[in-house]
Amino acid sequence: MSLLSVDDLRLSFGGLVAIDGLSFSVGEAEIVSVIGPNGAGKTSAFNCVTGFYRPTSGRITLRGRDLPGLRPSAIAGLGVARTFQNLRLFGELSVLDNVRAGSHLWLRQSVLDALLHTPRYRRSERECTEQAHHWLDFVGLRGDRYGQARALPYGEQRRTEIARALARRPDLLLLDEPAAGLNHGEKAEMLDLIRRIQALGVAIVLIEHDMGLVMEVSERVVVLNFGREIADGRPEDVRRDPAVIEAYLGGDPAVLEESAPEETVLEEQTAGQDSAGKGDSAKADSAGGDAHA
Amino acid sequence: MSATKVRRLGTDSPPSRASKLLQNRWAGLAGLLVALLAPFVDATPYALSVMTSAAIAVMLAAGLNIVVGYCGLLDLGYVAFFAVGAYTSGVLATRLELPLLATVPAVIVVTVVAGIVIGAPTLRLRSDYLAIVTLGFGEIIRITANNLDVTGGPSGIYGIPHLVEGPVAFYYLTVVVVSLAVLGAARLGRSRLGRAWRFVREDEDAAEAMGVHTYRVKLAAYVAGAVWGGLAGVLFAAHLSAISPGSFTFLSSALVLMAVVLGGMGSTPGVVVGAVVISVLPEILRDLADYRFFLFGVLLIAFMLLRPQGLWPARSKEVP
Amino acid sequence: MTQLIWNGLFVGSFYALVALGYSMVYGIIKLLNFAHGDLYMLGAFAGFAILGAVGGVSSAMALPLLLAVLLATMVVTGLAGVTLERIAYRPLRRAPRLSLLITAVGASFALEYGMRAVAGADPRVYPVRLGGTSFEVLGARITPQQLVLIGVAVLLMAGLNLLVTRTREGRAMRAIALDPRTSALMGIDVNAVISRAFFVGSALAGAAGVMAGAYYGKIDFMMGFLIGLKAFTAAVIGGIGNIPGTMLGGLLLGLLESFGTFWLGGEWRDVFAFGVLILFLTVRPTGLLGERVTERV
């Protein structure tokens, strides 16, 4: 049985159809990439899986358990962790505290323990801090762990966000454009990091525009265009798929070979949809709580 | 009189030295020592009364700090919980002739219920709606106390028994209770729950994604704030032995908020200093009585524009 | 019965007028201008000061004079609103929402107690009151002054609606409400538009203040506190950010209060109004006419 299975997922906002029949599955410790132009519905699909959106129709199951209708925190409780497209660290808090967030679900500590500073409190706090250090070591954070997260350089913030997700000890990790904005050397490190995460036995769903990275790490690639799934297969097959080539700039296969240049072109092409997508995160707020309450 | 106050404020060192002092517990112990020694400097009934009120204000500020400072929820009707606590103990003590101490369990239960009743429907709302709704709730509680017979209507409740005999003993009792409350709030802030509050404050979605049930966590902050406020209300009722709706207006809520903002949201030493300043400053600046609330308003704006972290900010760097 | 309806509609039109400013500012920059009710108070006092400066007038000239004062006051409170935004809100537009809200509370405080320091704590009696004998329509006693005030309120609201829906300025406001960054890229001077929105909203509140002074006869420095809350309630009922919805919400709140007072007694009127607010926020936070937006992450 696969770990995550998405079946005929549909999502629309009023009249706008964001996802129109998406199906894919992810096995244990498998890496699956979801690619497609901006506005194709990739992040929306992530938000459906993690409970931030409620799908209009379709099934999403984790080890056979239905996810839609659960709060994001409940889905996190089932072993799903994620990162966000535009970095959602707790900026004012220390880097360590950010990663400590990952321990929220497994840390056993009552309010009374905290008020009385019982041995259990001290033990759990120590463990929580040790774990945070461990995952920061794992992602190879170089910056100041004790300072505020927002003071870190961009690439280090990306690592911190991944460390935070890993501290959750997930079975399934959803990475939303982890390599966006990274330079060449950092991308190579990210590739290595993704492989090491997989080696821990964690399954990964990856949204990424960097085709080099996608083709390198993925076992399977799902291609979305305007909310529709147009391909699902091994990287080398998807790369030659005519429908995919068509979707990526009217049939220039070179685009799928190289990473850097086409990224900018794609963003310009779909700039309108992109800006709408960016606004989403700003609107998040507590009303997001209404949607999944 | 005023000399005492200045000295008290003086010992609460300026922010430049704060970070150094924060690295150990000396700041807290020094503050406690100052509070314990203050009656030896000036023990006139007036001075004791002002100091007791200041201590109660510290407790309120510590409670509101949980809600506003840790969790980032603006509560403009915080005094409602103060009123609920004061009235619950006052009504029980005078109508059933219970000793005041015996009303404390009831106060805790009632304030927890009040926290849930007020929080449950409103905590799903956007933060700015929450501010107005809490303000509305504050007014509802006050108007209700004003209209009901059991609460004594506009004239309130008289003859509430003391907790201990004599203003000096009561002052020391207050200092002990308030110190425990401040310590408790600080310890909650450093726990798993306290971190969850800060995650919610910083980014609710990211917190949810990490498995924090944001609604429950916010409700917990609200209930904790309610209990702190309610217990401060018991001290208040015992201190004045009479309570009336006039003590629980929006103005009082705003002053507690002022203390938290002035001192530094999320900072334990900050809100203690803030509360002492807010309650003692008007006593020193009696001549400016007409302008003091105007000044508070201007200060609130000035702080948000120029020093949003407050006089004694919460530390931004973790101590290894 | 008709009397209750009439009273409700009359009070409701005041609520609507104040609520519009709330709603407009909220709709555009998502700021809950806590000091909005105090601009209403400021309007009442500004009108009072201007009337005092003009000196006594015969009662025949009361109405035209009052209308002139109304316009002058609108300019004063409008400018006050613009100043407030410039000093207290604009620098914080990118700051956390909490800071902005606290600043707004501070502004409210400063206005209230600043006015107290200037004008004193005791209520002032308005120098002009509109006279006229009342008459009955369908069993409700209506005074000509009520009719005049409602007429002015309707005119102002209609004007605002035209401004927002039909003019370039209104289009700019709506664009900023949707997306300030893109609006700026499209060449809209965002700061200027927000300033003007504050001017219009504050001017409406000021007008309501003068009208309240002329009608009730007494003004004091805290008069804006409660009406600020009520106006917010009205805006929420109708759908905050939505202009026709806000007007509807104002009238509806007036009616609800009128009937609520009748059933429960005057001392519970405010409790009833806040109860309605909380009910609406929990059951239908988008209000009656607010669109149901699917919240997106």
Per-residue pLDDT reduced to its tens digit, C195-228: 999 999 999 999 999 988 888 888 999 899 888 8
Q: Which of A43, A95, A104 should one mutate to test binding to chain B, selecting the residue with the greatest count of B CBs within 10 A?
A: A104
- Say which residue the tokens 């009710």 belong to: C37
Q: How far is CA A22 from the centre of its chain?
A: 17
Cβ contact, residue pair B195, A100, below 8 Å: yes
Residues 174-193 of chain A whose Cβ lies under 8 A from any Cβ of chain C? none
Percent of chain A past pLDDT 70, that is, above it, reads 84
Q: Are B188 and B66 in contact (CB under 8 A)?
A: yes
Q: Supply the pLDDT for residue A256.
A: 58
Residue C285: closest CA among B71, B122, B138 = B122
**Chain C: nearest CA to A117, how far in angstroms?**
31
Q: Are A30 and A172 in contact (CB under 8 A)?
A: no
DSSP 8-state secondary structure symbol assigned to residue C86: I
Residue A178: closest CA among A167, A195, A168 = A195
**Chain C: nearest CA to B12, how far in angstroms?**
25
Read off the tokens for B118: 């007020």
Q: Judging by DSSP bridges, how do beta strands A172-176 and A203-207 pair with one another?
A: parallel
Q: Supply the pLDDT for residue A252.
A: 56
Read off the tokens for B168: 């000096």
Model confidence, pTM:
0.87
Choose the closest CB to C297 out of A14, A284, A290.
A284
Q: Which residue has the higher pLDDT, A109 or A246?
A: A109
Q: Which residues of B108-141 are buried (b: 16+ CB within 10 A; e: fewer)?
A: bebbbebbeebbebbbbbbbbbbbbbbbbbbbbb
Give A281's contacts (C-beta < 8 A, 6+ positions apart): A84, A85, A86, A88, B205, C297
Residues 220-279 of chain C whose Cβ lies under 8 A from any Cβ of chain B? 225, 229, 232-233, 236, 267-268, 270-271, 274-275, 277-278
CA A182, A185, A191, A197 torsion-angle sign: negative
Burial class (CB in 10 A: 0-12, 13-18, 19+), A21: middle
Q: Are C238 and C221 in contact (CB under 8 A)?
A: no
Map residue B318 onto helix, strand or coil: coil
Q: Are B92 and B98 in contact (CB under 8 A)?
A: yes
Residue B74: closest CA among C102, A40, A197, A57 = C102
**Residues of B contacting chain A (CB within 8 angstroms):** 123-127, 184, 187-188, 190-196, 198-199, 202-215, 316-320
List the single residue in A with minimal CA-CA distance to C96. Answer: A92
Q: How far is CA A264 from CA A175, A199, A269, in A?
A: 21, 32, 9
List the single residue in A with minimal CA-CA distance to B320. Answer: A146
- The reply to whether A50 touches chain B by the CB within 8 Å rule is yes
Cβ contact, residue pair C267, B290, below 8 Å: no
Q: Phi-psi bin for A79: left (phi > 0), alpha (psi -120 to 50), beta?
A: left
Q: Does C292 reside within a domain?
A: no
pLDDT tier for residue A263 given thresholds of 50, 70 and 90: very low
Q: Does C82 reside within a domain?
A: yes
- The reply to whether A283 touches chain B by the CB within 8 Å rule is no
Contacts of B192 in chain A (CB under 8 A): 103-104, 107, 109, 114, 124, 128
Q: Judging by DSSP bridges, how do beta strands A172-176 and A80-82 pair with one another?
A: parallel
Residues 44-83 of chain C whose Cβ lies under 8 A from any Cβ of chain B? none
Cβ contact, residue pair C296, A290, below 8 Å: no
Q: Are A217 and A195 in contact (CB under 8 A)?
A: yes
Map residue C92 onto helix, strand or coil: helix
Give C221's contacts (C-beta < 8 A, 6+ positions apart): C41, C45, C112, C113, C115, C116, C119, C121
Backbone angles phi, psi at B311, to 5 degrees: -65, -45
- The reply to whether B127 touches chain C by the CB within 8 Å rule is yes
Which range is least confidently modeled, A44-53, A120-129, C43-52?
C43-52
Per-residue pLDDT for chain C (297 aa), expressed as one digit of tens each? 788 888 888 888 888 989 988 888 888 888 888 899 999 999 999 999 988 887 655 566 667 888 888 999 999 999 999 999 999 999 998 888 888 889 999 999 999 999 998 888 888 888 766 666 667 777 777 777 788 888 888 888 888 888 888 888 888 888 888 888 888 888 888 899 899 999 999 999 999 999 888 888 889 998 998 888 889 888 888 888 788 888 899 999 999 888 888 888 778 888 888 888 888 887 877 777 765 443 333
Q: Supply the pLDDT for residue B112.
A: 97
CATH number at residue C272: 1.10.3470
Cβ contact, residue pair A90, B206, below 8 Å: yes
Bridge partners for A175 per DSSP = A206
Residue A159: closest CA among A72, A80, A98 = A98
Number of folded domains in chain C? Answer: 1
Cα C66 from Cα C215, distance rounded (Å)? 11
Contacts of C103 in chain B (CB under 8 A): 300-301, 304-305
Q: Are A136 and A199 in contact (CB under 8 A)?
A: no
Read off the tokens for B1: 């009189």
Ranges of chain B with pLDDT below 50: 1-21, 23-24
Q: Supply the pLDDT for residue C32.
A: 84
- Say which residue the tokens 């005094």 belong to: B79
Residue C172 belongs to domain spanning? 2-283
Read off the tokens for C45: 């006092």
Backbone angles phi, psi at A174, to 5 degrees: -105, 120
Choose the closest CB to C296 out of A275, A280, A290.
A280
Q: Supply the pLDDT for residue A115.
A: 93
Q: Does C113 reside within a domain?
A: yes
Q: How far is CA C192 from the centre of its chain?
A: 21
Cβ contact, residue pair A111, B212, below 8 Å: no
Residue C234: closest CA among C187, C289, C192 = C289
Cβ contact, residue pair B195, A84, below 8 Å: no
Please say if the pLDDT value at position A54 is more than 90.
yes
Cβ contact, residue pair B209, A146, below 8 Å: no
Q: How many residues does chain A have?
A: 293
Q: Are C280 and C237 in contact (CB under 8 A)?
A: yes
Q: Does C294 reside within a domain?
A: no
- The reply to whether A110 touches chain C by the CB within 8 Å rule is no
**Chain B: nearest CA to C171, how far in angstroms?**
26
Choose the closest CB to B213 out of A71, A146, A290.
A71
Cβ contact, residue pair A73, B211, below 8 Å: yes
Contacts of C181 in chain A (CB under 8 A): 275
Q: Supply the pLDDT for residue B94.
A: 92
Cβ contact, residue pair C229, B132, below 8 Å: yes
Q: Are B168 and B43 in contact (CB under 8 A)?
A: yes
Cβ contact, residue pair C113, B297, below 8 Å: yes
Contacts of B125 in chain A (CB under 8 A): 286
Contacts of B204 in chain A (CB under 8 A): 284-286, 288-289
- The reply to whether B209 touches chain C by the CB within 8 Å rule is no
Residue B221: closest CA among B200, B251, B203, B206 = B200
Choose the closest CB to B124 out of A52, A72, A290.
A290
pLDDT tier for residue A249 given thresholds of 50, 70 and 90: low
- The reply to whether A152 touches chain B by the CB within 8 Å rule is no
**Chain B: nearest CA to C101, how far in angstroms?**
7
Chains in contact with B, where contact requires at least 3 CB pairs less than 8 Å apart: A, C
**Packed helices B268-284 and B292-306: angle between N→C axes, nearest 10 degrees:** 150
Chains in contact with A, where contact requires at least 3 CB pairs less than 8 Å apart: B, C
Give C47's contacts (C-beta < 8 A, 6+ positions apart): C69, C70, C72, C73, C126, C206, C209, C210, C213, C214
Map residue B286 onto helix, strand or coil: helix
Residue C251: closest CA among C2, C6, C39, C3 = C6
Choose the closest CB to A164 out of B210, B316, B317.
B210
Cβ contact, residue pair B318, A97, below 8 Å: yes
- The reply to whether A288 touches chain C by the CB within 8 Å rule is yes
Chains in contact with C, where contact requires at least 3 CB pairs less than 8 Å apart: A, B
Which domains are assigned to chain A? 4-79+170-292 (3.40.50.300), 91-168 (no CATH)
pLDDT tier for residue A73 given thresholds of 50, 70 and 90: very high
Q: Which residue has the higher pLDDT, A134 or C141?
A: A134
**Could you read off the pLDDT of B259-269 as tens digits, one per residue?**
999 999 999 99
Percent of chain B past pLDDT 90, that is, above it, reads 63
Cβ contact, residue pair A280, C179, below 8 Å: no
List the single residue in A with minimal CA-CA distance to C94. Answer: A282
Choose the closest CB to A291 out of C179, C285, C295.
C295
- Say which residue the tokens 């007014």 belong to: B139
Cβ contact, residue pair B305, C103, below 8 Å: yes
Q: Supply the pLDDT for residue A288.
A: 35
Contacts of B298 in chain C (CB under 8 A): 106, 110
Q: Are C238 and C246 in contact (CB under 8 A)?
A: yes
Q: Does C277 reside within a domain?
A: yes
Residue A102: closest CA among A167, A174, A149 = A167
- Say which residue the tokens 């008290």 belong to: B8
Where are any strands of DSSP class E within chain B?
Answer: none
Cβ contact, residue pair A73, B194, below 8 Å: no
Read off the amino acid at residue A230.
Answer: I
Q: What do you get for the CA distance between the two ends of chain B, in Å? A: 42
Residues 187-206 of chain B whose Cβ lies under 8 A from any Cβ of chain C? 205
- The reply to whether A92 touches chain C by the CB within 8 Å rule is no
Choose the closest CB to C274 out of B125, B140, B305.
B140
Cβ contact, residue pair A13, C296, below 8 Å: yes
